Amino acid sequence: MAPDLIVEAAVQPNEDLGSAVLLPSPVAQTASGASWVNRKASDSDVAFIVSNAKIDRLLARILASRGVSPDGAVQYLNPKLRDILPDPYVLCDMEKATAIIVEAIRAKKKIGVFGDYDVDGTSAASILKLYFDAIGVDIRVHLPDRFTEGYGPSAAGFGVLVEQGVELVLTVDCGSSSDELFAEFKAKGASSIVFDHHLIQGSPPASAAAVVNPNAPGDKSGLKNLSAAGVVFLAIIALNRVLRSKGFFEERPEPDTLKYLDLAALGLVADVMEMSGVTRAIVAQGLKKLRINGNPGLVALGEAAGAKELQSTYDLGFVLGPRINAAGRIGHAQLAFELLTTDDGDKRHALALKLDDLNKQRRAIEQQVCEEAIAKIENERLADNGVIVVANNNWHAGVVGIVAGRIKERFDRPAVVIAIENGIGKGSARSIENIDLGSVISNAYAQGILIAGGGHAMAAGLTIDADKVSQLRDYLNDELTLKIDDARVNRKIEIDGVISPAAITASFAELISSAGPFGPGNPEPVFALLNVRSVHSKIVGNDHIAATLSSPDGMQFRAISFRSANSPLGEMLVRGKHIHVAGRVTKDDWRGGNAGQFQIVDAAVAN
């Protein structure tokens, strides 16, 4: 690339981002194998957004490239629930579910909640518990043990609630495929309402009194990017409205449903929901709630984790989320639920420390399983397949999902990791972009290869007889190998602009963050720095690389690349040769958040 183009590409914070600071041409020969291309935006839309929203042109271009209209830019930058929040009744069966719950409250029936053991399920169950406590209604909550009960409603779990006198069970983040169980307990006098978001194979459970699921057949709400915590948040808004209309709050204080926004945001981010519409608004307002007057359990957990501030989707997804998940993975989800719902400060502090300790244990277990899985993959040449399926008798079932994600990143292909015990394997699958692994897992279940299985495009879970692992491997590769080859060849990283090291500041990071919250559907901006050289690098943690890079004019900047040691990206960073780097500008929290840092996601040979 010509030096004069590199010079022209430099941009200072708040400078105009015109065509001169876009990539002059696509960048190939990258560590990831993806080509870098300019993210497209209409110049006229950019100009209109600058005029209407009175914002920096760089920020306007970021918005325009993500489909934000000139008229919608102001609302996009400051999403308000009152402008975006839909009537909860647009969700199929929400009105029916609300009426049943209100009648149960008025009849003083015992209500129970059955939730999943992950972050979304725990958050949703916690919202319900806190809301019912606030209106003076005592409920029972059961979160299953991952190892003894498994995923979803079970006879044992429902039995625990029924033994406590529960007559109405609300399932959260599960239950959309549990018709037989609902029928069994309906015959015993216990009704069920489902609050879920998972895809449904076939029809919704007919034995449930109501099924509130934006992904259910027949639902026309358009809210498919809600997780269970988001669905439950809308449910308590509907419930509050009906109770108010019936005079329920004439003799007791009416709770502020917005106080649960941070828990709803946590579930949405942890389940990696598309960051658009009402989901993005809930997360944006939930982060504000967390910063100002957040759930005491979340605040305590952040303190235990050593987080200086809880202010971004990163904090929800990578600081709080893993620690809450650690309870369900290697302990019991009830620990996280108690942390989020207790009003005992001493207990809260102890639980936060316990979850942080469990997360450390989880990391150690994960590291061991990951190393063993990689060795097995390399020894058995499993990476020659389009889909990697790896199983072992000695692995901890609680970390297979995380390890599957690591395997996917390392080998750049979908991965299924299975822990086998007593002849039964429990596994998790993680996919690459544009490969719908969840539907193929569901089809494998329908064809009898799996005992149970299903999920989303990018993630799925399964249970399998150990002697059918090879059959599953063959099936997945027969179905997906050609699609995977095509997806990998045509992968692209979209670049939002080319910057100079002078742009790597905390103020620039703040400017970019105003386009958030980021996530699927609203990707965090990726910038390129051209023809830089690594002058110093070292491995930090287990497999991260911290580096000091230098631009052609000698300006140096700090950079970090996560989980890149012993990878093609890591090799590029330690060679000391001239490279192009792509990544994100963030605040450097380790230095107090007052400095900028470049998080490298890819690199390319500089010709």
Q: Is the dihedral of CA 265, 270, 275, 276 positive or negative?
A: negative
The structure tokens listed for 403 are 């390890």
With tokens 């015990």, the residue in question is: 421
Residue 2 has pLDDT above 60, yes or no: no
d(CA 300, CA 297): 5
Contact 46, 27 (CB under 8 A): no
Of 575, 564, 565, give the one whose Cα is nearest residue 601. Answer: 564
Contact 256, 289 (CB under 8 A): no
* Span of 406-415, 418-427, 462-471, 533-542 with lowest mean pLDDT: 533-542
d(CA 599, CA 582): 8
d(CA 289, CA 282): 10
> Which residues touch 590 (CB under 8 Å, ≥6 apart)?
none
The structure tokens listed for 511 are 């400017």
Q: How confident is the model at residue 392 (pLDDT cuts 50, 70, 90)?
A: very high
Please state, as a whole number, how many other Cβ atoms lie within 10 Å of the Cβ of residue 5. 15
Q: How many CA atoms lie within 13 A of 442 on its CB side?
A: 16
- CA torsion 581→587→592→595, rounded to 10°? 60
pLDDT of residue 201: 76
- List, for residues 11-55, the tens digit of each pLDDT value: 343 444 433 378 888 898 899 989 999 999 999 999 999 999 999
* Span of 14-23, 175-184, 557-566 with lowest mean pLDDT: 14-23
Buried b (16+ CB within 10 A) or exposed e, 405-414: bbbbbbbbbb
Residue 166 has pLDDT above 70, yes or no: yes
pLDDT of residue 607: 74
Contact 580, 569 (CB under 8 A): no
Q: Is the dihedral of CA 214, 217, 220, 222 positive or negative?
A: positive
Side chain identity at 600, as an amino acid letter?
I
Contact 188, 465 (CB under 8 A): no
The structure tokens listed for 140 are 């029972």
pLDDT of residue 19: 36
With tokens 């069970």, the residue in question is: 169
Q: Is the dihedral of CA 285, 263, 249, 93 positive or negative?
A: positive
Q: How confident is the model at residue 5 (pLDDT cuts 50, 70, 90)?
A: very low
Q: Which domains does the chain have, with CATH numbers?
A: 3-68+496-605 (2.40.50.460), 88-354 (3.90.1640.30), 380-490 (3.10.310.30)
Angle between helices 57-65 and 43-53 (to 10 degrees): 120
Q: Is 197 helix (H, G, I), strand (E, B) or coil?
A: coil
Q: How confident is the model at residue 149 (pLDDT cuts 50, 70, 90)?
A: confident
Q: Is 330 helix (H, G, I), strand (E, B) or coil?
A: helix
Rg (CA), the chain: 25
Residue 121 has pLDDT above 70, yes or no: yes
Q: How confident is the model at residue 591 (pLDDT cuts 50, 70, 90)?
A: low
Of 41, 76, 47, give the one whose Cα is nearest residue 494. Answer: 41
> Which residues touch 417 (CB under 8 Å, ≥6 apart)?
369, 373, 390, 391, 395, 400, 401, 403, 404, 407, 427, 428, 429
pLDDT of residue 593: 53
d(CA 215, CA 306): 38
d(CA 29, CA 114): 50
Residue 6 has pLDDT above 50, yes or no: no
- List, for residues 448-499, the tens digit of each pLDDT value: 999 988 877 888 999 999 999 999 999 999 999 999 998 888 889 999 999 9
- List, for residues 338-350, the tens digit of each pLDDT value: 999 999 999 999 9
Side chain identity at 359, as an amino acid letter?
N
pLDDT of residue 489: 82
* Percentage of the chain modeled with pLDDT above 90: 79
Burial of 303 (0-12, 13-18, 19+ CB in 10 A): middle
pLDDT of residue 126: 99
d(CA 210, CA 205): 9
Contact 233, 261 (CB under 8 A): yes
Q: How confident is the model at residue 352 (pLDDT cuts 50, 70, 90)?
A: very high
Which residue did the predictor score with more confidence, 4 or 391? 391
User: φ, ψ for residue 141 (rounded to 5)?
Assistant: -125, 135
Q: Is 419 helix (H, G, I), strand (E, B) or coil?
A: strand
Distance between alpha carbon 300 and the CA centroid of its chain, in Å?
21
377 membership: H or E segment, kind and range: helix 345-379
d(CA 189, CA 168): 9
pLDDT of residue 592: 55
What is the pLDDT of the chain when averaged over all its residues?
92
Please state, as a whole number, how many other Cβ atoms lie within 10 Å of the Cβ of residue 396. 18
How far are the Cα atoms of 87, 98, 109 from residue 246, in angstroms, in the given order? 18, 13, 18
Residue 589 has pLDDT above 80, yes or no: no
Contact 243, 135 (CB under 8 A): yes
Q: Is 600 helix (H, G, I), strand (E, B) or coil?
A: strand
pLDDT of residue 97: 99
Please state, as a whole number, how many other Cβ atoms lie within 10 Å of the Cβ of residue 295. 25
The structure tokens listed for 597 are 């840092």
| Mean of pLDDT values over 107-136 | 97
SS3 content of the chain, % helix, strand, coil (to 5): 45, 20, 35
| Mean of pLDDT values over 296-316 | 94
Contact 121, 141 (CB under 8 A): no
